[in-house]
Homo-oligomer: A and B are copies of this chain.
Amino acid sequence: MNISELQIFLDTEFPQMAQEFEIVSISGSGEGALVLFNATEKHLRPGNTVSGPWMFALADLTAYIAVLSVLGPVAQAVTTNCSIDFMRRPDSGLLMCRAKILKLGRRLVIIDGRIFSEGSEELSAARFSMTYARP
């Protein structure tokens, strides 16, 4: 699937959330994705930082995009495990999430990623790994 097919798939399957996220790129060899998220007032938690659930949503969606870009529109692919480290508290504004497929197995897909404020990739706000089960 290319970017516009992916964005349409998101809009259809996740109508409540898709408009929050913009797919920036998928790698030509189909092994990763980069997604943009504009964190505003409603995504914050006490301390004026982006809430954990919104960080998780960004990570999960970016990993899902990476999976879809390789496997095609398999809406039934499900996350089976996530481990996430929240390292630095991002301010509101533009957040990016980069996900990379580390293993594309017959049954499981393992993905690694980072969330960072635009322009600060080296000082990531979070790192995560996710496992998806193929249907």
- Which listed residue (B52, B82, B103, B124) contacts A87, Cβ 8 A? B103
Q: Say which residue of B60, B112, B133 sits within 8 Å of A108 (CB atoms).
A: B133
- Asked whether A45 lies within 8 Å of B89 as measured between CB atoms, the reply is no
Q: Contacts A57-B53, A124-B102 known; A13 to B76 CB distance under 8 Å?
A: no
Interface centre among A13, A85, A87, A131 (most CB of B within 10 A): A85
Contact with B along A26-45 (1 / 0, CB 8 A): 00000000000000001001
How many residues on the A side are at the interface (Cβ–Cβ under 8 A)? 42
Name A residues whose Cβ lies closer than 8 Å to a Cβ of B: 13-14, 16-17, 42, 45-47, 49, 51-54, 56-57, 60, 75-76, 78-89, 102-103, 105, 107-108, 110, 112, 124, 127, 129, 131, 133
Known: A81-B81, A85-B129. 14 other contacts (CB 8 A): A47-B76, A52-B56, A52-B60, A56-B56, A78-B86, A80-B85, A80-B87, A81-B131, A82-B83, A82-B86, A85-B110, A87-B105, A88-B103, A102-B127
